[in-house]
A = this chain, B = another copy of it.
Amino acid sequence: MSIASDLIRGHTETIILAHLISQDSYGYEINKAIQHKTAGQYELKEATLYTAFRRLEESGAITSYWGDEKSGARRRYYQITPRGRVTLARLKAEWETAKELIDTLVAEEDAPYAN
């Protein structure tokens, strides 16, 4: 993994919710999807993923149900709730804001702030 986790910190829930917008999914698949989308540059650690699910479920952003797999390991599917959609919209807006702020702050300006 090439990206420092502190840079992703705080985005875990956004990433999960964004994935659940298009379809119900389960932990293992979400993680595989992330690895796929980022060409292996990033993956959520399992512990991170499952604690995020707990938080999201507690806050009412997602609900879960067990899949009815005939074979293989059981899967706990997650579904985004209306409240979760609102949360996602807010998180995405915050990301846009934060992105601009950070871009501004890491730019090496020649005009320093005069006191």
Q: Do B104 and A37 touch across chains, with their CB atoms under 8 A apart?
A: yes
Residues in B neighbouring A52, C-beta threshold 8 A: none
How many chain A residues touch B (Cβ–Cβ < 8 Å)? 45
Q: Do A4 and B15 touch across chains, with their CB atoms under 8 A apart?
A: no
| A8→B7 CA distance, assembly (Å) | 8
Number of copies: 2
Q: Please, what's the 1-or-0 string for A19-35, where 1 marks a CB less than 8 Å from any CB in chain B?
A: 10111010001001110
Q: Do A7 and B4 touch across chains, with their CB atoms under 8 A apart?
A: no
Q: Do B11 and A4 touch across chains, with their CB atoms under 8 A apart?
A: no
Is A3 at the interface (CB under 8 A from chain B)? yes
**Interface hits, A1-53 → B, CB 8 Å:** 2-4, 6-11, 14-15, 18-19, 21-23, 25, 29, 32-34, 36-38, 41-42
| A18→B107 CA distance, assembly (Å) | 7
Is A99 at the interface (CB under 8 A from chain B)? yes
Is A65 at the interface (CB under 8 A from chain B)? no
Is A109 at the interface (CB under 8 A from chain B)? yes
Most B Cβ at <10 Å: residue of A29, A92, A109, A110: A109
| A34→B102 CA distance, assembly (Å) | 10
